[in-house]
């Protein structure tokens, strides 16, 4: 996974990227509601007013951060699953990559998973094109598997995708909010992958 390069990819000489990276850190540390634009400015090493040259508001910062990072996640995910031939392998890669990203980038994951849920503006008013794109990658894997006869065609692919996303997202949330004795999220990805694949596969499961 190119997950490692996701946050670091933010080029240091690009002020917009620097502000977004700072927002990611400050949102994760303080929570979206308690985060102050002045803290983000300080973290980014720019004047408070500079933030408003690039972003309309704190809400706009969160929405932009989500779109930028989810676009990077979608690109990385597409590159990863392109290496797999079988739909089953692609599905397993998807789940593995999602949870590896959470494991490797807890601050980013905290913002995407915890903070976004808490922004009512975001959840209800924003159309989240990159989130839709992310779900589409997963739905396409399932639909392909169904049309090739690998997966059971009973469940509509977009609905299965939403459900599988919910499963990995909830495990990410449990892991991120769990304070002591965190479970092994990378191992959990293998369990979830096996369970889902067995559930979807048409033939007798190999496990």
Binding site for its own copies (CB under 8 A): 31-34, 114, 117-120, 123-124, 152, 154-156, 159-160, 162-171, 173-174, 177, 183, 188, 191-192, 194-200, 202, 204-205, 207
- Name the nearest CA neighbour of 193 among 105, 109, 73, 99: 99
Sign of the CA dihedral running 169, 171, 175, 178: positive
Q: How far apart are CA 51 and CA 119, in angstroms?
A: 20
**Least distance in Å: CB of 157 to its own copies?**
11
Work out the number of other CB atoms within 10 angstroms of the CB of residue 77.
24
Closest to its own copies by CB, 109 vs 188, is 188
Closest to its own copies by CB, 44 vs 168, is 168
Closest to its own copies by CB, 53 vs 132, is 132
**Least distance in Å: CB of 145 to its own copies?**
13
Closest to its own copies by CB, 53 vs 177, is 177
**Least distance in Å: CB of 29 to its own copies?**
13
What's the per-residue H, E or C state across 24-73? HHHHHHHCCCCCCHHHHHHHHCCCHHHHHHHCCCHHHHHHHHHHHHHHHH
Closest to its own copies by CB, 10 vs 91, is 91
**Least distance in Å: CB of 196 to its own copies?**
6
**Least distance in Å: CB of 34 to its own copies?**
8
Q: How far apart are CA 55 and CA 108, in angstroms?
A: 19
Q: How far apart are CA 75 and CA 166, in angstroms?
A: 21
């Amino acid at each position: 996974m190119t997950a490692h390069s996701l946050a670091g990819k933010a080029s240091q000489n690009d002020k917009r990227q620097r502000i977004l990276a700072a927002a990611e850190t400050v949102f994760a540390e303080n929570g979206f509601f308690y985060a102050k634009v002045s803290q983000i400015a300080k973290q980014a090493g720019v004047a408070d007013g500079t933030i408003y040259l690039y972003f309309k508001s704190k809400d706009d910062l969160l929405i932009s951060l989500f779109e930028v990072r989810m676009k990077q996640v979608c690109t990385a995910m597409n590159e990863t699953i392109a290496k797999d031939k079988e739909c089953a392998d692609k599905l397993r890669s998807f789940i593995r990559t999602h949870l590896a990203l959470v494991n490797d980038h807890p601050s980013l994951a905290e913002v995407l998973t915890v903070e976004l849920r808490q922004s009512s503006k975001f959840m209800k008013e924003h159309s989240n094109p990159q989130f839709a794109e992310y779900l589409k990658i997963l739905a396409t894997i399932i639909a392909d598997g169904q049309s090739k006869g690998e997966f059971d065609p009973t469940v509509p692919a977009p609905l299965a995708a939403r459900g599988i996303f919910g499963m990995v997202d909830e495990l990410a949330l449990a892991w991120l909010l769990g304070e002591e004795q965190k479970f092994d999220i990378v191992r959990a990805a293998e369990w979830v992958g096996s369970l889902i694949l067995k559930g979807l596969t048409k033939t007798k499961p190999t496990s």
